[in-house]
Structure 1
Amino acid sequence: MADLSPPDRDRRPGAHKGKSSGKVADFRYKRPAPSERKASGKRPARRGESRQGSPQRRQAYAALDLGTNNCRLLIARPSGENFTVIDAFSRVVRLGEGLAKSGRLSEEAMERTLGALHICADKLRRRNVHLARSVATEACRRAANGEQFIERVRRETGIVLDIISAQEEARLAVLGCHILLEDGAGPAVIFDIGGGSTELVLIEPGGPVPRILDWQSVPWGVVSLTDTVGPVSGAPAAREARYAEMRRVVAESFAAFARRIAPVAARADDIRLLGTSGTVTTLASVHLELPQYDRRAVDGLIVPSTAMREVSMRLAAMSPRERGGLPCIGNDRAELVVAGCAILEAILDIWPAKRLGVADRGIREGILRSLMASETAPAGGRAPASAPASATTGAGAGQERG
């Protein structure tokens, strides 16, 4: 197994050569020019202080994750070795709707997304955010007009989005949720089922942050797989066939990664598995028979893998109306959740862990840890490779599932 992650296999050349700032309303973060400082008579803030002279540990940091299906924002302040969430926002925007067939972001999808991003920009300004990073993932990576949309977002909202690579997306997901891995010394796979892609990361335990041994990103998420194969609906036989085709398509994409990790799984006594996504949090909610979603009951839950398979097969066999009637799914997720079930089953096929950890945290938390770690690095030195081990979350901090 290679010590280093393989190079990112970007499916659209030049997709990641854009902005690298990721800050909202960049003018708010620019230091005044020397002439401006002299005119004001105020000294510039020292490292570790805000402009008002208060300790930097009280500054607010923000992470915005624009995915294929959701737009999510998290604003937090450092709190000891952790952080406390002070504001959060999540909305299903379906940015990647129709992308699999057209290769472009539709005008309707972009308008929905801009509406959510205007709300995010307002929150960032009102919370007086000291440092923010905003990222866009698979939908903007794949779309022919992805970079044009990023520029439109900058003009209309002031938010500067980075179109991050699949490798960076995987790294941030690991950084954000690895603390929830089940205790043990064996190797582990962390996965993130998104709207437009799925990332799988093989990690070696030990140290503040696990070492990444191998990884893969495939262009199948709950939106892209549903758009390509079609919804699991119709008569029972048709639903069964459509679900089987979803599993076949995903398994084919996982094949190279499966061959690489098979020897690792074979020689380990106990392998571990952790998932972060709307799919795993939703399935965990169904498994627990929750009357409504409860992040406190789901985040950090360890579920037998057989139980998650049973839930997946049960949902795939249901009609869309039956799925929509379940408390933690509803009509909005009734169509997409089955694609997530197919992806999860394919992951369990190639990494047959006995138990599955569930994380309602991921990229945003990984971004926050990276930002806070970089700010606390010694002057002239490198930021720590890791960030705080866990987060203290406030009301409304759970990620939008689906």
Structure 2
Amino acid sequence: MMAAAALPHGHGASPPPASALLGAAFGQHLAGPGAPLGGTRPAAGPQATPRNPPATYAALDLGTNNCRLLIARPAQHGFRVVDAFSRIVRLGEGLAASSRLCDAAMDRAVEALKICRGKMLHRNVSRARLVTTEACRAADNGSDFVRRVAEEAELELEIIDQRTEAALAVSGCAALADPAAEGVIVFDIGGGSTEIIWMGGRNEARDPAARIREWASLPIGVVTVAERYGGVDVSRALFETMVEDCARELKAFAAKAAAASGARNFHLLGTSGTVTTVAGIHLGLARYDRREVDGLWMRQDDILAVIDRLVEMDYAARAANACIGRERADLVLAGCAIFEAIRRAFPSERVRIADRGLREGILLRMMHEDRAWRRR
């Protein structure tokens, strides 16, 4: 079940206004004075309250690299995005070396979160879930940062665990799995970690999270891999070393999920800036367009062709590409190395591309919990 509008994309460009997707919450809300975003606003009086006020949901995902917000309302076949925000903040910059979030990264994130708070207030969000993932999980000062956000941005962030992150990502993109597939490997390449899941077929359960057979959160993401090897000058030999390193991190999960590849109509389902970038380049888009990318099926030869092109490009060429941009030019090959390691571990002729994931999963779960569609 998905929204009828386009989803924003984290490629460095401003997200589309009032026509993207997502939002949700399980008890997380705005801190400080005023009505909290995590609950129902009290009525100002009988005349001030509409008879059936539309519920407005927000989902915020503060990751190692990006801060993303989606605000949506239930629609007939899912939900309609009414506002969105995306900014690269690189919260996890230098984290692998210091085990701490640095001041500059926290400053960038707080400023982005203040913008998100303003958008949620402007849209009268009635329920929100605001999550943060690997950077805050791994940082020694992650909890201190959450407290700072509560004080300065007046938002309450929830540091979610790895299992929750994986389940939400699956819930958000499972609708794109082939209905005939009895086994799918779903992966979400993030900034600080990669969530990978072996999901069973639709005949096993209606809830995608209930179909998870195996899952893992790998300590490899586009930021961590790029910081380890460098992302500006990447030779073919260095790229292959990156792939081999990622394959080692993947080995234990690959052994547990080895049977997935033998399932009927098996395929890969990828959600992340990396896979959507590969898709956009494959399509030759002059500017990234989520409507062209989300749900696209790609063949392995097409994926390899794009990765080969990216390896041959220098940094300037990557930065000039409209589907990559300057802010991600030093990260895209790290993401491709993770993607290639997954493809080699789970060979599949086809890969489905998803420009949806964790935030969509949050929205759908909140709306389902609220029985939002039954009230319409």
Q: TM-score range by the shorter chain?
A: 0.7 to 0.9
Distance 1:184 1:248, change over 3 A: same
- Matched residues in 2 for 1:107 and 1:327: separation? 30
Q: From 48, 51, 54, give the equivalent of 2:51.
A: 54
- Matched residues in 2 for 1:219 and 1:193: separation? 10
- Matched residues in 2 for 1:21 and 1:117: separation? 18
For the 8 Å contact 1:65–1:72, the answer to whether it is kept is: yes
Q: From 112, 116, 135, give the equivalent of 1:116.
A: 112
For the 8 Å contact 2:68–2:85, the answer to whether it is kept is: yes
Q: How does 1:245-394 map to 2 (within 5 A)?
A: 245-266=241-262, 268-376=263-371
For the 8 Å contact 2:198–2:260, the answer to whether it is kept is: no
Match of 2:195? 199
- Matched residues in 2 for 1:31 and 1:159: separation? 14
For the 8 Å contact 1:230–1:242, the answer to whether it is kept is: no
- Matched residues in 2 for 1:130 and 1:271: separation? 40
How big is the shift at 1:249? 1.4
How big is the shift at 1:184? 1.8
> Aligned pairs, how many?
343
Distance 1:232 1:306, change over 3 A: farther
After superposition, give the CA deviation of every residue in 1:154-206 in whole Å (9 maximum; x if it has no partner): 11111111100111111111111111123423200111001111000111121
Match of 2:226? 226
How big is the shift at 1:232? 5.0
Alignment-mate amino acid for residue 256 of structure 1? A
Asked if residue 208 in structure 1 is aligned to residue 206 in structure 2, the reply is yes
How big is the shift at 1:239? 1.3
More displaced stretch, 223-232 vs 128-137: 223-232
Local SS of the residue matching 1:306: helix
How big is the shift at 1:151? 0.5
- Matched residues in 1 for 2:232 and 2:244: separation? 14
Normalising by structure 2, report the TM-score. 0.86
For the 8 Å contact 1:190–1:201, the answer to whether it is kept is: yes
How big is the shift at 1:314? 2.2
Normalising by structure 1, report the TM-score. 0.80
Local SS of the residue matching 2:235: helix
For structure 1, the residue ranges without an aligned partner over 5 or more in a row are: 1-19, 44-50, 378-386, 389-402
Distance 1:201 1:31, change over 3 A: closer
Local SS of the residue matching 2:93: coil
Q: From 1, 23, 29, give the equivalent of 2:29.
A: 23
Identity over aligned residues, as a percent?
46
- Matched residues in 1 for 2:232 and 2:93: separation? 17
How big is the shift at 1:246? 1.1
Structure showing greater Rg: 1
Q: How does 1:169-208 map to 2 (within 5 A)?
A: 169-206=165-202, 207-208=205-206
